[in-house]
Amino acid sequence: MSLNKLLFLISFLFFVSFSAQRDDYQFNDFTQRMKSMQKVLKSNPDKGIVVLERLLKEAKDKKYEESELKLLANKCWYFLKKADLNQVKITANLLQEKSEEYDNPIFLAKASIYKCQVFMDSELEDEALAEHQKVLSILDKIPQQNQEILETRANAYIYISNLYYRKKDFKTAINKLLSADNSYNKIEDVEKRQSLQYLNFANIGTVYSDINSDSAEYYIHKSLKMNPDIKSPNFTQFLNYSILGDISLKKNQAQKSLENYLIAESLYPETGDLVNLEALYKGIISSYQKLGNQSKVKDYQEKLNKTQLKLYQHKYKSVHEILKESKVKEQEKNQLFYWILGFFGLIIIILIILFIKQKKKAPEKSINTSNLIELIKKNDIGFLFSFEQEFPEFFKKLLKLAPDLSKTEQEYCAFVKLNLSTKEIAKYKSVNPKSVQNNKYRIRKKLQIPTEIDIYDWMNKF
């Protein structure tokens, strides 16, 4: 081999080695920045999400496929903690799409876990169970069960346990959480295993608090032993002290329950779950009521109202979008079938209405609407929330018939349900009566209310 060829080969090998080292350095640097971002995301979510978006773009540009999937999963977590279910759904769908593209079954399973949570919070039980089964099916097909797979499987059981807990099927909920604990026990890393069980014991204690206080206290204290710190915000500790407050309240130990609840409130993290915060405020209000402190009851009632309003707004947005998307997909699959179904459905509705008119009207449940009308007069943003409390099925039924009803149109439907005249609506909303009539016309068209049927009669019987 000539000297020139030898020098060229050495230079080439040096260049390849240098390029590989540079790429490794860049990737390691990126990995470290991801870890730093995850810490910020937990302590300051709104700051962390800004960094996450930058890293996500960089991961796409540099083809860091697994990092891109991890960042999308982190983004799902962020929106879930913010209770923005619509954004969780959008991001989870993107995570699912990218996981399929990169052939990564673990993150495909994680996408289904987040979608399962969205469906649960949107009260779409069948869809949630289907996603849960999809997770288990995906994980069962992976031959080697490593720590990440065991953790993902456990998370699937924990998420679905919430569905059974809400249905008050406490036995099944506990079995799901114990299945999660069984997966955690197979994790060899002791520190990692204990950190996961620390939260799961709190979950088990939460479910037991509704059926067996002794078992609940056993698991809560088991969790507390793993981390006795109560100085900094921590969701698991928040949950533990909330449950201890619930148990004390059931035993009529108002002062003790209040002490535990207030510790829980001090531990509530910025990324906490609004549903759990709502339950905490209810417990604090009950404790202060038993102690006769009406001033504090009023203060916490205001906090509870604000939390419930946030929950309603997120729930409305999510259910509206999911139902709308579902209906569009169904129409695309078989448009003719739904035209026929709608036609016969309309005939059946008309026949039922005619039949009911011939029957003697049964006495209707008396509902005090004066408070609702006062909220309308004040143009109070809490009107829709209060109306839904009084008529819990009304908006759900409307959205099933017409998912594209706007929030304003739903509000007008509520006015009609309360028998407000066109003149009254115009007065309270500070609009022209003609504008009210136009809104009624659009609502009638979207809900397919026949022209011969009075819209007030239709809404009152709906």
Rounded Cα distance, 71 and 60, in Å: 11
The enclosing domain of 261 has a CATH number of 1.25.40
- The pair of three-digit structure tokens given for residue 302, joined into one six-digit string: 């205001």
**What pLDDT is stored for residue 366 in this prediction?**
43
Q: Which of 45-54, 101-110, 135-144 has the lowest mean pLDDT?
A: 135-144
Rounded Cα distance, 181 and 203, in Å: 11
Q: Has residue 120 been placed in a domain? A: yes
Q: Has residue 94 been placed in a domain? A: yes
Instruction: Tell me: pLDDT of 384 over 50.
Output: yes
**Mean of pLDDT values over 84-93:** 92
Distances (CA, A) of 53 to 48, 73, 145: 9, 12, 31
The enclosing domain of 109 has a CATH number of 1.25.40.10
**What pLDDT is stored for residue 101 in this prediction?**
94
Which range, 139-148, 166-175, 368-377, has the best average confidence (pLDDT)? 166-175
Residue 91 and residue 19 share a domain: yes
Residue 259 and residue 137 share a domain: no
Rounded Cα distance, 137 and 112, in Å: 11
Q: Which of 151-160, 170-179, 220-229, 287-296 has the lowest mean pLDDT?
A: 220-229
Residues with Cβ < 8 Å from 25, sequence gap 6 or more? none
- The pair of three-digit structure tokens given for residue 92, joined into one six-digit string: 């989870």
The enclosing domain of 437 has a CATH number of 1.10.10
What is the number of helices (H) and of strands (E) in the chain?
22, 0
b/e 382-397 (16+ beta carbons within 10 angstroms → b): ebbbbbbeebeebbee
Task: Identify the band that residue 296 occupies on the pLDDT scale cut at 50, 70 and 90.
Answer: very high
Instruction: Tell me: pLDDT of 16 over 50.
Output: no
- The pair of three-digit structure tokens given for residue 278, joined into one six-digit string: 């709502």
Q: Give 102's DSSP letter.
A: T
**Mean of pLDDT values over 309-316:** 71
Last residue of one domain, picked from the residues 279, 307, 335:
307
111-158 pLDDT, tens digit per residue, is 999 999 899 888 888 999 999 999 999 998 888 778 888 999 998 999
Domain that holds residue 410: 367-462
Backbone angles phi, psi at 59, to 5 degrees: -60, -40
Last residue of one domain, picked from the residues 291, 307, 323:
307
Rounded Cα distance, 45 and 30, in Å: 20
Residue 287 and residue 399 share a domain: no
**What pLDDT is stored for residue 14 in this prediction?**
44
Residue 407 and residue 295 share a domain: no
**What pLDDT is stored for residue 340 in this prediction?**
62
**Mean of pLDDT values over 6-33:** 63
Smallest CA-to-CA distance from 85 within 184, 93, 418, 42 is with: 93
Tally of domains within the chain: 3
Residue 293 and residue 380 share a domain: no
Q: Has residue 341 been placed in a domain? A: no
**Mean of pLDDT values over 376-398:** 86
**Mean of pLDDT values over 176-183:** 93
Task: Identify the band that residue 208 occupies on the pLDDT scale cut at 50, 70 and 90.
Answer: very high
**What pLDDT is stored for residue 146 in this prediction?**
85
26-42 pLDDT, tens digit per residue, is 889 999 999 999 999 88
**Mean of pLDDT values over 287-306:** 93
3-state helix, strand, coil in the chain (%, to 5): 80, 0, 20
Contact 75, 89 (CB under 8 A): no
Q: Has residue 177 been placed in a domain? A: no
Task: Identify the band that residue 343 occupies on the pLDDT scale cut at 50, 70 and 90.
Answer: low
Instruction: Tell me: pLDDT of 219 over 60.
Output: yes
Q: Has residue 99 been placed in a domain? A: yes
Residue 112 and residue 21 share a domain: yes
**What pLDDT is stored for residue 159 in this prediction?**
87
Task: Identify the band that residue 256 occupies on the pLDDT scale cut at 50, 70 and 90.
Answer: very high
Task: Identify the band that residue 170 occupies on the pLDDT scale cut at 50, 70 and 90.
Answer: very high
Rounded Cα distance, 109 and 106, in Å: 5
pTM for the structure as a whole:
0.55
Q: Has residue 108 been placed in a domain? A: yes
Contact 131, 137 (CB under 8 A): no
CA angle 262, 277, 253 (to 5 degrees): 40
Residues with Cβ < 8 Å from 403, sequence gap 6 or more? 320, 323, 324, 326, 327
Last residue of one domain, picked from the residues 263, 284, 307:
307
Mean pLDDT of the chain: 84
Q: Has residue 430 been placed in a domain? A: yes
225-255 pLDDT, tens digit per residue, is 988 776 777 888 999 999 999 999 999 999 9
**Mean of pLDDT values over 295-316:** 84
**What pLDDT is stored for residue 200 in this prediction?**
92
**Mean of pLDDT values over 251-261:** 94
**What pLDDT is stored for residue 43 in this prediction?**
82
**Mean of pLDDT values over 175-179:** 94
